[in-house]
């Protein structure tokens, strides 16, 4: 009895696998060229290129007073399906004093956003992040790989988690909010850094 049931189960598994193979080989998969096209998400990025005036606001701890600075601009350009943002002083058109750069793209194979940033003002290295979904075209949430935040006056770092929410508030206004959570056991999250963009016409 056991041998007969085992043989039936094996035969059923073989048929199921064969059916799956037929389905996989006969369905048309997207080719390399198609996957490199912008798609809906890439078109959203292409619409955010150009020169943007930037205002930065920093909250250094939960409940801290905001520190606001201006005088920087954001250059945005497309490289294939990647949107690159370069933050620099307004008078540095040659980009000799770049303060920050990031790359954002929608990976059509993984069906999620990929992102990496580097800030020359902070000793934190490359900061990669990913989304959990494609978003709704109005906002985009990214979750960063944990980073070691530096301590002023010393080289020791504190583990920190970060998430970033970008809002596309119309064709000429973007807001990028970064939320921080220090690994101290409290789980308290606060808005630590805001980038406010206004497209320059």
C-alpha–C-alpha distance, residues 200 and 144, integer Å: 29
The CATH code belonging to domain 38-199 is 2.40.128.20
At 105-128, the pLDDT tens digits run 999 999 999 999 999 998 889 999
What is the band of 155 on the pLDDT scale with cuts at 50, 70, 90?
A: low
- DSSP for 139-172 reads EEEEEEPPEEEEETTEEEEEEEEEEEEEEE-STT
Domain residue ranges in the chain: 1-30, 38-199
Using CA atoms, how far residue 107 sits from 47, 61, 87, 140, 164, in Å, is: 18, 34, 24, 14, 18
Q: Residue 148 has what pLDDT?
A: 85
Read off the pTM.
0.81
Find where tokens 């999250």 sit. Answer: 189
Statement: residue 57 has pLDDT above 80: yes
Q: Residue 98 has what pLDDT?
A: 96
């Amino acid at each position: 009895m056991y041998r007969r049931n085992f043989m039936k189960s094996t035969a059923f598994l073989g048929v199921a696998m064969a059916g799956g193979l037929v389905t996989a080989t006969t369905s048309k998969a997207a080719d390399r060229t198609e996957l490199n096209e912008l798609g809906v998400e890439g078109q959203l990025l292409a619409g955010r290129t150009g020169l943007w005036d930037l205002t930065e606001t920093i909250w250094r701890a939960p409940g801290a007073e905001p520190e606001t600075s201006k005088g920087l601009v954001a250059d945005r350009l497309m490289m294939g399906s990647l949107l690159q943002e370069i933050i620099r002083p307004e008078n540095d058109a040659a980009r000799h004093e770049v303060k920050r750069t990031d790359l954002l793209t929608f990976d059509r194979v993984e069906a999620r956003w990929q992102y990496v940033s580097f800030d020359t003002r902070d000793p934190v290295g490359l900061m990669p992040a990913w989304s959990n979904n494609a978003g709704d075209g109005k906002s985009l949430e990214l979750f960063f790989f944990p980073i070691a935040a530096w301590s002023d006056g010393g080289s020791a770092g504190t583990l920190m988690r970060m998430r970033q929410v970008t809002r596309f508030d119309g064709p000429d206004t973007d807001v990028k909010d970064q939320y921080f959570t220090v690994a101290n056991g409290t789980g308290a999250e606060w808005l630590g850094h805001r980038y406010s963009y206004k497209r320059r016409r």
